[in-house]
Amino acid sequence: MKPILTLLFSILINIASADAQIQRPNIIVFLVDDMGWQDSSLPFWDKATPLNKLYHTPNMERLAKEGMKFTNAYAAPVCTPSRVAMLTGVNPAHAGITNWTNTEKDKNTDAADDQFLPAKWNFNGLSPVAGTANTLHATPFPQLLKDAGYFTIHVGKAHWAAAGTPGASPYSMGFIVNIAGHAAGNPQSYLPKENYGNIMGKATPRAVPDMEEYFGSETFLTEALTLEALKTLEAPINNKQPFFLNMAHYAVHVPIQGDKRFLQKY
């Protein structure tokens, strides 16, 4: 990973330099949780599969047509390791973050084993603050972008660290705006009639925060997060400020709940 890290930090240093006469591009990252390689109408193989023919994702097709598509890459099999690697450039094995983090601090998510002791992994996740127990200490690249003058936005699932640690909050990771990101790895509910898990004025640990505007509406969580992301882009666009949007939908993670607009089709 060292050559990639060197390149990344070299680019960011150049962006931050007052003497660098380069145009700072806007950056949008779509991070889709638990999506399979065949779960789109865009093939990620040398031919379409029966599942590719089932789904309808025209925007992914358009992105691939207008840009580049990579089909051979590494990802961890669960969410937090991949998410931390994305923010730091550190391989999960080197980071010591090899499983998803809990919504409770200092609680290992590994299943108990009759034969082996739990691995000594950083089960509290990523921390931008040194000295946080059972975490990887690193500077996330959104902080570097913020320092370089970018307007940094996080929308959706965060899940970089356990609740009660600095890494649980996107604000600690260099994001100026945070909508709906916290320590939970999945939403309590995608349904507006269930207030996305905020029931009877009491939020469960997995209830989605910051979405009160849509409580009791007809707006499925994925759509609501998209609408909020579009709102947040208005300020940097109007101010001609370069922006970084980390668009991390909770979908298609459990619970399995359908957007009623598309239930009939599928």
DSSP 24-48: ---EEEE--TT--TTSSSS-SSSS-
pLDDT of residue 21: 52
User: Does 222 map to a domain?
Assistant: yes
Q: Which residue has the tokens 């089960």?
A: 123
User: Does 116 map to a domain?
Assistant: no
User: Does 97 map to a domain?
Assistant: no
Q: Which of 101-115, 197-211, 226-240 has the lowest mean pLDDT?
A: 197-211
Copy the structure tokens of residue 214. Answer: 């849509």
Residue 4 pLDDT greater than 70, yes or no: no
For strands 151-156 and 136-137, give the pairing: unpaired
Residue 203 pLDDT greater than 80, yes or no: no
pLDDT band at 201 (very low <50, low <70, confident <90, very high): low
| Per annotation, catalytic residue among 79, 154, 182, 249 | 79
User: Does 111 map to a domain?
Assistant: no
User: Does 239 map to a domain?
Assistant: yes
CATH number for the domain spanning 41: value is 3.40.720.10
Mean pLDDT of 242-259: 96
User: Does 169 map to a domain?
Assistant: yes
pLDDT of residue 2: 42
Torsions phi, psi for 104 (to 5 deg): -110, 140
Number of structural domains (the chain) is 1
Torsions phi, psi for 188 (to 5 deg): -65, -35
Mean pLDDT of 237-256: 96
pLDDT band at 117 (very low <50, low <70, confident <90, very high): confident
Residue 246 pLDDT greater than 60, yes or no: yes
Q: Sign of the C-alpha dihedral, residues 13, 18, 20, 24?
A: positive
Q: Which of 75-79, 141-145, 214-218 has the lowest mean pLDDT?
A: 75-79
Per residue in 24-76, pLDDT tens? 999 999 998 888 899 999 999 999 999 999 999 999 999 999 999 998 877 78
Known active-site residue 56: no
pLDDT of residue 30: 94
Mean pLDDT of 139-164: 98
User: Does 11 map to a domain?
Assistant: no
Known active-site residue 159: yes
User: Does 107 map to a domain?
Assistant: no
**Residue 226 lies in domain:** 25-72+140-248
Contacts of 78 (CB under 8 A, 6+ apart): 99, 100
pLDDT of residue 218: 97
| Per annotation, catalytic residue among 56, 137, 154, 159 | 159
